[in-house]
Amino acid sequence: MIASRTAGPQYWRGRHLPILPCQGVHGSGLDNGEICLRRPLVIAARQTPDHPSTDGIRTRFLMVASQTQTPRDLLYRGLFEHALVEVHMWQVVRDASGNIVTWKLVDANPNALQSWGKTLHEVVGLTTDEIFPGVGASDTFMPIVKQIMATGTPREWEIEFPVTNQILHMVSFPVGEFFVSTGFDVTAQRKQEQTLRHTLDSLTQATSAAGVGLWDWDLHTNHVMYSDEWKRQLGHEPHEIADNFDEWKRRVHPDDLEPTLKVIQELLQSPRPQYTTTFRMRHKDGSYRWILAQSTVFVRADGQAVRMLGSHIDVTERRRVEEQLLKSQKLESVGTLAAGIAHDFNNLLTAISGNVSLLKNAAPHAAPSAAERETLLTEVEEAARRAKSLTSQLLTFAKGGAPVPQVASIRDVIVDSASFVSRGSRSRCEFAVDADLKNVHADIDQISQVIENLVINASQAMPDGGTITVSASNIVMHRRNEWDLAPGDFVKVSVSDQGYGIDEQHLPRIFDPFYTTKSTGSGLGLSTAYSIIGRHGGQLTVESQLGCGSTFTFYLPASNAQASQREQGDVVSGSGRLLVMDDDPQLRRLMKRLLERLGYECDTTEDGNEAVAHYVQADRDGRPYAAVILDLTIPGKEGGRETLARLRDLNPDVIAVVASGYADDDLLSASDKYGFNGRLKKPMDLATLSSEVARVLQETVRTT
């Protein structure tokens, strides 16, 4: 704005300065009608031959000269004086050709003056080089000043100014032949950023050297930041993988994706400080790498998960080495294991063959009495039971041992199994089993094996004898528990000894196959027990302290269903015609004798072709089979599953029972999924055979 011509002193920017009408001052470039702000004392004191004083400084942009200041004038002045950033105004000085040669300070606010260490009286009217002598200030800022004055547009810029030891972040904008610069000192911020960059660089170098890839997942936007090392682990350059969750999903192995997503979902619903999991991811070369992932979840005050971050480590080579080491350890242990198994089986076979010899070869005058015969047969039966337990243990370890579950009471199993294996040792068992102990849905033979292994382990820990405490109780697992078990009712069983305990360094490996701290044993019992409980949806744990003994505890999901009321050992007779398929001639003869003893008529066949032929002929003769018992595995020929499919083509309502001595495949544990009506696990006794055959035949009658 143009100020009116008025006589007398006027106020400009709160300072009492003379504002006089211009009288065509020579060299000032001012026209009549424009304001002349004269500071005769200041300007006179700063005259130099190079830059003679002007009589006035042109202004068009800050205020209207008037006798009194308007509220708007006061507002602008207040903003200028109290701004938290530096503000300073300059007038450019040009040579005769119109080129900018320097600029002079018109005004500066307190923040600017404080950073310069000057007062306004000392610097107003001076050039940049005069305010900051000897550092080439004009040369430093000239490109910026020329640009804004030439373009007429503002410019944001940042520069390190050594005179004040500052890094300045400024915005400069032109107003006629003046320009205003405003900004602030960002030295501290830039130093912090530099320190952070150095820290991040060091972290990046460290994680890269350690082979650790980092990721940060914003759960609200689904944006995932993957570090360069994360991408390099999969063989990609940083620009080849976008920062989103789908990039991770489409690289996870198909067999690992759903389980891993389920784990992530559970973690987001119930956050934990840290979680570790392992899965496979596809490398750029098409191979799959094993990744060890560790993560943590950040939540809001209301518990809502908002962010998840963690690390990836390629453990493919480590797993390969571990597998080779495990194989080596297994090979080293095979001799010990084989010797132990041979020893146990020789003892069992000796008991069986010796007692059978007494029954067969006794002289007429020394024939055993009826009571003695009963005793001998009981010994044979017990030796066979122990042989069955040993083979079951080996199958569980070698093939996975899929359980064949049923709803049952575990109370008697605990007492009977523990008492059986402690018989003849120096240790004795004491029991504390709740009277209202819940039923479980489990493979009772396998659970019996677990209890036997734990009691044997406790007995071996006390070579001089002692007390083994076996307890069982009901327990409720809540949503968050230290064993990561599903919430609900569980049965808790503990076996405690008074032995020498387990050193802390051995505890992490105590359930590893072939790992043992004892001079006797193969290290198979605890790993087998751990595997069995895990396959039942439970958990096996250990607590131990040197000199204070050990306690092994397992948790099994409880069931509210009723257990079968049939007493073990019941023999159920029946009638009807049955067909048995088994490749072992001795077993065929035995099955025929057993079934005929129960009242059935029985035919036997060697393989699937023969079984189908018998089945067809029986229908033609008008004497169909009530049920078939099919061996699951026939080496080199069709087994039970394939034979059943052919029989169902002939008769969709065929009643079939599968029999097997193998524990692999889940067919035996879920036989109904494969079309079988029942199952028999070898070896079996007469009671087991009779009960299962009677059950499937009775159920068939009820459903027809």
What digits encode the pLDDT tens for the residues 637-664?
888 889 999 999 999 999 999 988 764 4
| Lowest mean per-residue pLDDT among 197-201, 463-467, 520-524, 550-554 | 520-524
Mean pLDDT of 428-456: 88
Rounded to 10 degrees, what is the CA torsion of 491, 497, 502, 508?
-10
DSSP per position, 90-143: EEEEE-TTS-EEEEEEEEE-HHHHHHHT--HHHHTT-BHHHHSTTTTHHHHHHH
Q: Residue 319 pLDDT more than 60?
A: yes
SS3 content of the chain, % helix, strand, coil (to 5): 40, 25, 35
Burial class of 31 by CB neighbour count within 10 A (0 to 12, 13 to 18, 19+) = exposed
Per-residue pLDDT band at 126 (split at 50, 70, 90): very high
For residue 417, CA distances in Å to 222, 449, 469, 473, 563 come to 54, 8, 13, 17, 19
Question: What pLDDT does 534 receive?
Answer: 85
Mean pLDDT of 377-382: 80
Q: Residue 107 pLDDT more than 70?
A: yes
| Lowest mean per-residue pLDDT among 142-156, 481-495, 506-520, 639-653 | 506-520
pLDDT tens digit sequence for 44-74: 223 333 443 333 333 333 333 344 568 887 8
Burial class of 243 by CB neighbour count within 10 A (0 to 12, 13 to 18, 19+) = middle
Task: Quote the CA–CA distance of 223 and 670 in Å, as a whole number.
Answer: 43
For the record, the structure tokens of 181 come out as: 């610069």
Which residue type is seen at 29?
G
683 prior amide bond cis, ω within 30? yes
Q: DSSP H helical segments within 237-291, as ranges?
A: 245-249, 254-269
Per-residue pLDDT band at 275 (split at 50, 70, 90): confident
Per-residue pLDDT band at 210 (split at 50, 70, 90): low
Question: What pLDDT does 40 receive?
Answer: 30
pLDDT tens digit sequence for 466-495: 899 999 999 998 876 777 788 889 999 999
Question: What pLDDT does 500 receive?
Answer: 83
Strand partners, 160: 167
Per the CB < 8 A criterion, the answer to whether 657 and 679 are in contact is: yes
Which residue type is seen at 287?
S
Maximum average pLDDT range among 198-202, 204-208, 246-250: 246-250
Q: Residue 151 pLDDT more than 80?
A: yes
For the record, the structure tokens of 416 come out as: 């009977």
Question: What pLDDT does 332 receive?
Answer: 55
Question: What pLDDT does 120 receive?
Answer: 93
Question: What pLDDT does 60 receive?
Answer: 33
Residue written as token pair 């007390």: 467
Task: Quote the CA–CA distance of 535 and 14 in Å, as a whole number.
Answer: 87
Question: What pLDDT does 28 receive?
Answer: 35
535 or 438, which is more confident?
438
Which residue type is seen at 410?
I
Q: DSSP H helical segments within 159-242, as ranges?
A: 187-210, 228-233
Residue written as token pair 């030796």: 383
Residue written as token pair 């004892």: 518
Mean pLDDT of 668-679: 75
Question: What pLDDT does 76 receive?
Answer: 83
Question: What pLDDT does 185 receive?
Answer: 80
Question: What pLDDT does 608 receive?
Answer: 92
292 or 339, which is more confident?
292
User: Can you give the pTM of this predicted structure?
Assistant: 0.42
Mean pLDDT of the chain: 78
Task: Give the percent of the chain with pLDDT over 70.
Answer: 76
